[in-house]
Amino acid sequence: MNALSALWFAVEKPAKDSESYGVVWVFEAKSGLVERDGDYISRKSSKDPFSTSRSCILVPRYISKRIVAQGGYFTVHASMLKEPHFLRLDEEDAFKDRLMKLVIPAKFFPTIRHQLTRMGTNAMTIYPDLGGLCQDIKWRYSWAEDEIPRPQVE
Q: For residue range 45-103, what is the model confidence (pLDDT) as tens digits?
A: 666 766 777 888 888 888 889 888 998 888 888 777 777 778 888 888 888 899 999 99
- What is the tally of helices (H) and strands (E) in the chain? 6, 5
Say if pTM beats, i.e. exceeds, 0.95: no
| Dist CA 25 CA 43 (whole Å) | 24
Q: For residue range 17-39, what is the model confidence (pLDDT) as tens digits?
A: 888 999 999 999 999 888 888 89
Residues with Cβ within 8 Å of 132's Cβ and at least 6 positions away in sequence, in order, are 123, 124, 125, 126
Contact status, residue 124 vs residue 134, Cβ threshold 8 Å: no
Q: For residue range 98-142, what is the model confidence (pLDDT) as tens digits?
A: 999 999 999 999 999 999 999 999 999 999 999 999 999 998 898
CA dihedral 98, 105, 2, 96 (to 10 degrees): 10
| Dist CA 65 CA 78 (whole Å) | 28
Element (H, E) at 24: strand 21-27
State CA 150 to chain mean position distance: 31
Residues with Cβ within 8 Å of 122's Cβ and at least 6 positions away in sequence, in order, are 8, 113, 116, 136, 139
pLDDT for 29 equals 92
CB-based burial label for 122 (10 Å; 0-12, 13-18, 19+)? buried
DSSP-assigned beta bridge partners for residue 27? 99
pLDDT for 153 equals 66
